[in-house]
A and B are shown apart, each in its own frame.
Chain A
Amino acid sequence: MSSITTAATPAPPRARKVASRQQWIGLLYVAPAVALVVVFFLIPLGMTAWMSLHNWPLMGEHSFIGLGNYVAILRDIRFWNALRFTGYYTVIVTIAIFVVAFPLALFVERPRPLTNLYRTMFFMPAVVGFASASLLWSWLLNVDSGLFSPAAYDLGLIDRKFNLLATFQPAFWSIIVMVVWKVAGFTMIILMAGLQSIPQDLQEAAVIDGAGPFARFRAITLPLMRRTLALALILSVAGSILAFDQFYIILRGGPRNQTLTAVYWIFNQSFVSFKLGYGAALSMVLLVVLVALSLVQLWLLRKPEGLD
């Protein structure tokens, strides 16, 4: 795709020779980037595959065990539980984000007084890091020194302080609320861009034809937003599958290891138990899941037929 943009005009032979030497300089310009990608990406990627075939402790010799790690994964119930929990979390949090972000996008899409201010306010949590947000909410959710439980107690809503993080359901939903707070503004901006790209006259023509708001939404807004919706969906799904910070910082995988995500489990195996080979094999499984997802993404984001 990039060759199109650099289509050169034919040059006389001598000039072409000079020009082609000039062109080689391009290699020098991209060399640092390529070197970084090779050292910090390509080599580690190859090593992950290689290590996954070994018993590889942090100290001492590693030994080749073929597909031993993968066989062990099949029997690793806790990994499958983590994967199942990650899937469950991904579905719930993605729905929750869209339920909040779509109305917000409709709300801030049209320019009127103060819209810019609203947009900024809704977006602010998105620029704060996941670690900061998690630390902040771990305080707000704390049973004694936090906000929610003491406030509910003071208001007389509950007669005993309630630890939101002690049992699975309230802990899980607390995380969902925190993530929606942090991410909804981001999704909102992407959806807003999609809404704004719909030609206004299309909507107006539909109004003249007597289409109601719901019919217009279904027949114009949704189809024309397919690529935007797909993008927002993919970003949310990919981000959620890799969730780690919030579960590590707020819940430490608890209560009773019920909120260990896939990345968290890999982290535990690799950097707490130091089973590097096994961690690498788990990483390969996660990698296959995500690459498959990326392929679905490319398909969803394909240009509409008939248009380039």
Chain B
Amino acid sequence: MAQAASRNRKLLARIGEHSTGIIASVLFAAPIVWAVLSAFKPAAEARQPPLPPWPTSGFSLENYATLNSFGDGLWVSAQNSIYVSVMTVVLSVAVSVLAGYGFSRFRFPFKDLFFILILSTIMIPFQSILTPIFLVLTKLGLHNTLTGLVGVYVTLQLPFSIFMMRNAFDAVPREIEEAARMDGASNLTMLLKVMLPLVWPGVVTIALFAFLGAWNEFLAALVLMTDQSKFTLPVMMTALQSGRFGAIDWGAVQAGVTVMMVPCLILFLALQRFYIRGLMAGAVK
């Protein structure tokens, strides 16, 4: 009797726990699901309140087509966003791997000073130095160019990714290098052929953070990109949502939001392990 009662209580607790979990999960997922589903409604239906969220009068890509007709179009902004994000990933990985290796394996003048300088930039919000960044880019002839924006984004990634890479290299035993050096490997081949495969998880982590950072950044892109053909997705979508291209087409907003969210979600779901790793690395420092 008592055993059955305790089993029942346990079962009840289980059910309670999982209902809580499921309800909370639905609440967190709902806004995303709502937007993704609504984006596939025909334009006329998308203007109505999204009840129910899924298309009732047939599946349609009309909203995406409309979105592509605003200003310079969805495709131009999407290309800009892809270019900026991919370049930010490539350059921040290259710069951080080199610097992480340098800080981990060499002794040179001002080493500690440089390291502290790079890490301390995290204390100063870039929002407060945007005006001079704007002027510096103008001086460099990079005003209103995606390249200039990439430069800013890469710099924003450096404190986290160099810290991460230096720790990754520190964790590699020196014996491995010494063995490779006996075989006559030079510094750079050593880094690329011997070390890189060993710090690969760290590289994936910083690449993921660089992509998400660049893809989602709004204020710097808003300030630095003044020409419509250079707008990244968040800037273009905000222009659309503010009614800059006439009456606000909420169907197009849903489509745009979907395009902005889906790559982040896919990357996160595929590389979750690396994302959490990065968070933890940041958290335990």
Interface residues of A (CB under 8 A from B): 1-3, 5-6, 8, 22-30, 32-34, 36-37, 39-45, 47-48, 51, 104, 107, 112, 114, 117-118, 120-125, 127-132, 135-140, 142, 144-147, 150-151, 154, 181, 185-186, 189-190, 193-194, 228, 231, 238, 242, 244-245, 248-249, 252, 263, 266-267, 270-271, 276, 279-280, 283-284, 286-287, 290-291, 294
Closest 8 interchain pairs by CB? A26-B106, A129-B216, A29-B102, A150-B49, A47-B132, A131-B234, A44-B132, A121-B25
- Chain B residue contacts of A242, Cβ below 8 A: 125, 127
Question: How far does the Cβ of A88 sit from chain B's closest Cβ, in whole Å?
Answer: 19
Select which of B32, B98, B253, B260 is within 8 A of A139 by beta carbon: B253
Q: How far is the CB of A254 from chain B (nearest CB, A)?
A: 12
B contact residues around A132 at 8 Å (CB): 216, 234, 257, 260-261, 264
**Closest beta carbon of chain A to B123's beta carbon, Å:** 4
Q: List 18 A-B contacts (CB under 8 A).
A: A6-B105, A22-B187, A33-B118, A40-B136, A41-B126, A41-B129, A47-B132, A107-B24, A117-B25, A127-B264, A127-B268, A128-B216, A129-B218, A129-B264, A131-B237, A136-B32, A245-B218, A290-B128
Residue of A nearest to B35 (CB): A136
Q: Are B112 and A2 in contact (CB under 8 A)?
A: yes
Select from chain A the residue with minimum beta-carbon distance to B115. A2
Contact check, B112 vs A107: say whether CB atoms are below 8 A apart. no
Q: Are A33 and B254 in contact (CB under 8 A)?
A: no
Q: Smallest Cβ distance from B127 to chain A, in angstroms? A: 5
| Residues of chain B lying within 8 A (CB to CB) of residue A270 | 130-131
Return B226 CB to nearest CB of chain A, in Å.
10
CB of B238 within 8 A of chain A? yes
CB distance from B64 to the nearest CB of A (A): 15
* Residue numbers in B under 8 Å from A189 (CB-CB): 276, 279
B111 sits at the interface (CB 8 A): yes
Give the distance to chain B from A15, nearest Cβ to Cβ, in Å: 13
In the bound complex, residues from chain A placing their C-beta under 8 Å from that of B126 are 41
Which chain B positions have C-beta within 8 A of A8? 107
Q: Which residues of A contact B28 (CB under 8 A)?
A: 121-122, 124-125, 181, 185
| CB <8 Å contact, B18 and A128 | no
B216-242 Cβ-contact flags toward A at 8 Å (1 or 0) = 111100010000000000100110011
Question: Within the assembled complex, what's the spacing in Å between the Cα atoms of A117 and B22?
Answer: 10
Question: B250 and A120: CB pair below 8 A?
Answer: no
A252 → B minimal CB distance (Å): 7
A294 to B256, CA, bound (A): 36
**Does B196 belong to the interface (CB within 8 Å)?**
no
Main SS of the interface on chain B? Answer: helix
Q: How large is the interface on B (under 10, 10 to 19, 20 to 34, 35 or more residues)?
A: 35 or more
Among the listed A29, A124, A137, which residue makes an inter-chain contact with B265, where contact means beta carbons less than 8 Å apart?
A124
With a cutoff of 8 Å between Cβ atoms, the chain A residues found around residue B101 in the complex are 29
In the complex, how many angstroms separate the beta carbon of A35 from the nearest chain B beta carbon? 9
**B interface with A by C-beta (< 8 Å):** 17-18, 20-21, 24-25, 27-29, 31-32, 34-35, 47-51, 94-96, 98-99, 101-109, 111-112, 114-115, 117-118, 121, 123-133, 135-136, 140, 151-152, 154-155, 158, 162, 166, 170, 187, 212, 215-219, 223, 234, 237-238, 241-242, 250, 253-254, 256-257, 260-261, 264-265, 267-269, 272, 275-276, 279-280, 283-284
Residue pair B112, A3 in contact (C-beta under 8 Å): yes
Asked if B98 and A145 sit within 8 Å, CB to CB, the answer is no
State in angstroms the CA–CA spacing of A118 and B217 once bound together.
27
Does A267 lie within 8 Å of B129, measured CB to CB?
A: no
> Among A25, A118, A127, which residue has its beta carbon within 8 angstroms of that of B24?
A118
In the complex, what residues of B have CB within 8 A of residue A121's CB? 24-25, 28-29
Please report the C-alpha to C-alpha distance between residue A30 and residue B219 in the assembled complex, in whole angstroms: 29
Complex Cα gap A193–B135 (Å): 42
Given contact pairs A5-B104, A124-B29, A139-B35, A34 touches B215 in the complex (Cβ within 8 A): no
Cα of A279 to Cα of B280 in the assembled complex, Å:
36
Give chain A residues whose Cβ lies under 8 Å from the Cβ of B216: 128-132
Asked if B253 contacts A131 (CB within 8 A), the reply is no
A30–B99 Cα distance when bound, in Å, is 4
Decide: A287 and B128 in contact? CB cutoff 8 A: yes
| Cβ contacts under 8 Å, A124 to chain B | 28-29, 32, 265, 268
Give A169 to B284 CA distance when docked, in angstroms.
Answer: 38
Q: How far is the CA of A39 from the CA of B101 in the complex (A)?
A: 22
Q: Which single residue of chain B is at the shortest CB-CB distance from A146?
A: B49
